[in-house]
A = this chain, B = another copy of it.
Amino acid sequence: MYSEERKKIVLDYIQKYGKASVQELTEVLQVSEATVRRDLKDLEDAKLLKRTHGGALSLQNVNFEPTIGEKKVTHLKEKHAIAKKAVELIDEGETILLDAGTTTFELAKELKSFAKLTVVTNAINISHELLSHPGIEVLVVGGMLRKETLAMVGPVAEQSLGMIRVDKLFLAINGLDLEAGLTTPNLIEAATKRKMIKIAKQVFLLADHSKVGKVSQAKVADIVEVNQVILDNAVAEDTLNQLKTMGITVHLVHP
């Protein structure tokens, strides 16, 4: 067996199990530990896996999940610009609904300047942030608290939302795909988002370019249910045109 064949087997193994110990690989490949280590070193140099003491991990397993905290760090500029643009679309005295999400959280921080505004939100961090904005009345949507997204969701949330009508909804989303529509990883959260869309006169979608083309498990709605969308300028021209064709007003920000 040639070394290239061996390396392919190593990669397949790690792809399958997520990780592999040097011991395991000596048995699978029937070679010495020294050889396994030499193979792993080559593969790491080629950026195909991550070595650890005792073996190796697939890159997927070390590339930490795109979590709230990190997303916020990585696309903060885009989100900030999107939030600033969103603020321009809000009028004094309106009632707005802010979905849970990092972009909407940025938006909440930008609301200080309003003298009179009613904000409805299902996000615990947004509720907390708005405590310090004197001119803003805050209506919190209740519900089961999801620790992953800080969103309140479920039947209680939906019933509370049913009691309200809002002028503008600012919706956050995980996946925005022209065919699959708006999607998010959690079914219950998706249902809550759907309810939000129902009670809003106008729906504004906030999405940075990393969301475009992404599809998650749970569908929230078709894109046509959105009235306006705010994106950053790293989105393909073609996508923008298709959105416009659907009758959606597209705002482009330049972070």
Contacts and interface: CB of A to CB of B under 8 A. Distances in A.
Interface of A: 2-5, 8, 11-12, 15-19, 48, 50, 52-55, 57-62, 64-65, 67-69, 72-73, 124-125, 127-132, 137-145, 147-148, 150, 152, 155-157, 159-160, 163-164
Contacts of A131: 67-69, 124, 145, 147, 150
Contacts of A152: 140, 142
Contact of A64 (B8, B140, B142, B145): B8
B140 A2 contact: no
A64 B125 contact: yes
12 contacts: A3-B52, A4-B50, A5-B52, A11-B67, A12-B65, A15-B68, A60-B68, A68-B131, A124-B127, A138-B144, A139-B156, A141-B156
Given A139-B143, A145-B140, A147-B17, A132 B67 contact: yes
